[in-house]
C-alpha cells in the first residue's frame, strides 16, 4: 500500500504547515507566541514577496490620528476624519493606501492588486487630490472602502522564510473582508477563524496546543 501524501497529512494535522514560495497576496497572521509588540496579534497583508525580501502592511492596528491632521489639504474633505492605521514599524513618515477601485480615479504607476478587490498604492499627490475633491462629492454610502497606513512591515532576503520555519506566523490567502474590516481590533481573531475550526479555538483561547 502506498504511504499517505504530504497533503493528506497536512489535512489531518493543522499543525503541519507548508507555505507558497511567493506569499504576495497572502495574510501573515501572528502566532500566539509572537510577542514582538510591533506584531502582537496582527494581520499583515503581503504586498510584495520575492528574492529581495517582503513588503507588507499590518491591516488591523488602528491609531487615533486622523488623516487631515497629517495632510492639511484635506481639512474641508470628509477624508479628514479617516483614522490612520499603523502599517508597520518602518518609515512611519510615509503613507500607503489600500482601497477598492475608486470611480473616476486613474491609478498611479505604482499601484498593484495584492488581493481580489484590494488595490495598493502609495499616498501620491493625485490620490490625495482625489480624496479632497471627487471623494468628497460621493455619497457616504457609495464610497469604496479605503484605508490609510503610516509605515510598513518589511523583511530582508530569507528573513520571512526563517520566521515561518520558526512558526511565528500562520499563512492564509488575503481577502478584502479582513483588509476593510469595520472593526480592525477584531481582525486577528476573524482572520484566524477563516482558517477553520481549529484556528477559531486558537483565536478564542490564545493557546496553541502541541500535537507532538
Predicted local confidence at residue 5, as pLDDT:
35
What is the residue extent of each domain of the chain?
22-58+155-203, 65-150
C-alpha cell at 31: 502566532
**Residue the block writes with cell 480624496:** 131
**Residue the block writes with cell 486577528:** 188
Asked, colleague to colleague, whether 22-58+155-203 and 65-150 share their fold, the answer is: no
Phi-psi region of 26 (alpha: psi -120 to 50; beta: other; left: phi over 0): beta
Q: Which fold has domain 65-150?
A: Alpha-Beta Plaits (3.30.70)
Predicted local confidence at residue 33, as pLDDT:
87
pLDDT along the chain (212 residues), means of 10: 38 61 96 92 97 97 94 90 96 97 92 96 95 90 94 96 93 96 94 91 76 42
Predicted local confidence at residue 7, as pLDDT:
40
Predicted local confidence at residue 156, as pLDDT:
97
Closest by CA to 86, choosing from 64, 63, 104, is 63
pTM of the complete model: 0.89
Q: Which fold has domain 22-58+155-203?
A: VC0467-like (3.40.1740)
Show Cβ contacts of residue 136 under 8 Å, excluding neighbours closer than 6 positions. Answer: 76, 77, 78, 79
Amino acid at each position: 500500500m502506498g504511504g499517505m501524501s504530504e497533503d493528506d497529512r497536512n489535512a489531518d494535522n493543522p499543525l503541519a504547515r507548508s507555505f507558497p514560495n511567493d506569499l504576495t497576496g497572502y495574510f501573515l497572521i501572528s502566532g500566539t507566541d509572537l510577542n514582538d509588540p510591533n506584531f502582537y496579534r496582527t494581520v499583515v497583508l503581503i504586498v510584495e514577496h520575492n528574492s529581495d525580501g517582503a513588503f507588507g502592511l499590518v491591516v488591523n492596528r488602528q491609531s487615533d490620528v486622523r488623516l487631515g491632521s497629517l495632510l492639511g489639504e484635506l481639512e474641508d474633505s470628509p477624508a479628514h476624519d479617516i483614522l490612520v492605521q499603523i502599517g508597520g514599524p518602518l518609515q512611519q513618515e510615509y503613507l500607503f493606501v489600500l482601497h477598492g477601485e475608486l470611480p473616476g480615479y486613474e491609478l498611479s504607476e505604482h499601484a498593484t492588486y495584492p488581493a481580489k478587490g484590494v488595490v495598493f498604492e502609495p499616498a501620491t499627490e493625485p490620490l490625495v487630490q482625489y480624496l479632497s475633491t471627487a471623494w468628497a462629492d460621493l455619497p457616504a454610502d457609495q464610497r469604496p472602502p479605503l484605508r490609510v497606513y503610516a509605515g510598513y512591515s518589511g523583511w530582508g532576503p530569507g528573513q520571512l522564510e526563517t520566521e515561518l520555519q520558526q512558526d511565528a506566523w500562520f499563512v492564509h490567502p488575503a481577502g478584502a473582508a479582513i483588509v476593510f474590516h469595520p472593526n480592525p481590533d477584531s481582525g486577528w481573531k476573524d482572520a484566524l477563524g477563516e482558517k477553520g475550526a481549529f484556528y477559531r479555538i486558537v483565536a478564542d483561547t490564545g493557546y496553541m496546543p502541541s500535537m507532538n
